[in-house]
Every structure is written in C-alpha cells, then in structure tokens.
Structure 1
Amino acid sequence: MHTRLVPYETLTAVQQQQLSALEVHPEQLPFCGDMYCALNALLARPNPSVKGFALLADDTPVAFLLLKRAPCLPHWADEHSATLHALQVDRRQQGRGFGKACMQALPLATLEAWPQIKGLELSVDADNVAAMGLYLGAGWLDCGEAYKGRVGYERRLSRALTPTR
C-alpha cells in the first residue's frame, strides 16, 4: 500500500467527503478532537497560517492533521516553528502504521508548504503513552517542559527541520 501526505486543498470532492467521515476511538476525542472540529478550524475562517494535510493510503484518506505557523501559534511555541494539531488516524485503520507514515512525511510536507520554518513542535498529554511513543519513535525530542493542559499535564516535543536542496 502506497501512502502520501497531501495538502487538504489538493483532495478531490470524493476524498474530502471520505476524510470528513474519519472517526477516532471515543477515548481519543479529548486529545485530538473529531474531524468536524478539525475541518471547521481549517475551513470556517481560512488562514494562510493554518494548513490541513491528509494521509492517503493509495488514494483513500486514512488520517488527518493540522499545522499552524505564526501568527496562529500557541503561546508555548517558538515563533520560527510550525505546530502539529489534531492528528487523527481513522479508528478502522489504526495499528497499520499510518500515524508513523504521517510523522515520516511531515518534515518534507512542512518545508514544501513553508520553507522558512525551522522546526516542528507539538503538545501531548503526558499520560498518552501511545502518542508519546509515536512521536519519540519518529525523532521528536521531549523539551523537558510540562504545563497544565485542558485534559491533564502536557509535554512539549520538538523536531528540527533540515531544508532539502
């Protein structure tokens, strides 16, 4: 199966409809939200500093994520970074490596969208063992900082980006 991370705006109408039907397990909702909220954040008030990406398996959407850059960054992010939000892998597709595929494709997708970005950052619930394993296994580094988030304590993770030439 071939996977690729593509900008939301390149999806066909059928792929957009398929993407809107993605669902996560109910216990994941407090951490990543649902597709309705993620797409609403992207589409309700379009902003060049917020981009959506879908992971396609062959040509079918199986995952989604949002990236934000300044001036839409959260308070904890470096102004030269992009932050990862709302990573969702369809619950019917979980356990098949699609989260890992998103993480592997994300650096290049970020640099193609915003070449000036120096790094990626995210905030993850400290008790979300699966997500922490995914991110750390994909080369993200724990910044050693925790803060009280809306669900529990959040850890900040980062990953440097290296421009390709």
Structure 2
Amino acid sequence: MQTRLVSYEALSAVQQQQLSDIEVHPEQLPFSGDMHCALNTLLANPSPGVKGFALLADEIPVAFLLLKRPPCLPHWADEHSATLHALQVDRRQQGRGFGKACLLALPAVAIETWPQIKALELSVDSDNAAAMGLYLRAGWVDSGEAYKGRIGYERRLRRAFDS
C-alpha cells in the first residue's frame, strides 16, 4: 500500500468528500476533535498560518492533520516552529500504521510548506497514553513541562529538524 501526505488544496473534489467521512473513536474526540471541527478551522476563516494535510493510502484519505504558524500559533509554541493539531486517523483504519506514516512524512511536508521553521511542536494530554507512545516512538521529545489544558494536564513535545 502506497501512502503520501498531501496538502488539502492538492486533493481532488472526490478526495475532499472522502476526507469528510473520516471518523475517530468516540473516546478520542476530546483529544483530536472531529473532521467537521478540523475542516471548519481550515476553511471557515482561511489563514496562511493554518494548513491542512491528508494522508492518502492508495489515493484514499485515511488521516488528517493541521499545522499552524503565526499568527495562529498557540501561546506555548516557539515562533520558529509549526504546531501539530487535530491528528485524526479514521477509526476503521487505526492500527495499520497510518498515524506513524503521518508523523514520519510530516517533517518534509512542514519544511516544504514553511522553509524557515526549525521544529514541530505539539501539546498532548498526559493521560492519552496511545498518542504519547506514538509521538515518542516517532522521535518527538517530551519537554518535561506539563500545564493545565482543556481536559487535564498537557505535555509539550518537540520534533527538531536536523540542521
């Protein structure tokens, strides 16, 4: 199976429709949100500081994520980074390595989109063991800091680029 991470703008009309069918498990909704919210963030008030990307598996969308840069960076992020948000793998496709495929393809796509960035950052609920494990196995580093988030305590992780 061939996978590739592509910008939302590069999707065909059919792929954009398929993307809207992505669903996460109900227990994941508090952490990632749903596709409606993610697409609303991307499309309702377009900004050069927000970009959407879909992971295609044999040309069918199976996952989606958002990247943000100024002026849309969260308060905790370094201005030289892009931040990862709303990573969602379709519940019918989970367990097949698509989350890992997104994270492995992400640095190259992020640098292509914003060549000036030095790293990727994210914030993850400290109780979200599956997500924490996925990020750490993909080379993200826990900053060691925790702060009170929407749901519980959040950890900040960073994936620096090789200079």
Which range, TM-score by smaller chain?
Answer: over 0.9
* In 1: Cα distance, 2:84 partner to 2:40 partner: 16
The SS at the match of 2:51 is strand
* Residue in structure 1 matched with residue 6 of structure 2 by the alignment: 6
SS at match of 2:53: strand
Aligned length: 163
User: Is 1:153 aligned to 2:153, yes or no?
Assistant: yes
Residue type at the aligned position of 1:72: C
Cα separation, 1, equivalents of 2:105 and 2:135: 13
Q: Secondary structure at the match of 2:154?
A: strand
**Hey, what does 1:131 align to over in structure 2?**
131
Q: Which amino acid aligns with 2:89?
A: V
Q: CA shift at 1:6, angstroms?
A: 0.2
Deviations 1:77-114 (A, max 9, x none): 00000000000000000000000000000000000100
CA distance in structure 1 between the aligned counterparts of 2:13 and 2:71, rounded to whole angstroms: 29
Question: Which residue number corresponds to residue 41 of structure 1?
Answer: 41
Give the distance between the partners of 1:123 and 1:147, measured in 2 at CA. 10
Matching residue of 1:97: 97
2:68 equivalent in structure 1 = 68
CA RMSD of aligned residues (A): 0.6
Percent identity of the aligned residues?
Answer: 80
Deviations 1:89-146 (A, max 9, x none): 0000000000000000000000010000010000000010000000000000000000
After the TM superposition, list the runs of 4 or more consecutive aligned residues in structure 1 that deviate by more than 6 angstroms: none
Letter in 2 for 1:19: L
1:51 equivalent in alignment to 2:51: yes
> What does residue 18 of structure 2 align with?
18
In structure 2, what is the Cα distance between the partners aligned to 1:79 and 1:114? 12
* Residue aligning to 2:112: 112
The structural deviation recorded for 1:71 is 1.4
Q: Secondary structure at the match of 1:61?
A: strand
Which runs of no fewer than 5 residues in structure 1 stay unpaired?
none
Aligned to 1:121: 121
Post-superposition offset of 1:70: 1.2
Q: State the alpha-carbon separation in 2 of the partners of residues 60 and 151 from structure 1.
A: 32
Structure-2 separation of matches of 1:16 and 1:106: 20
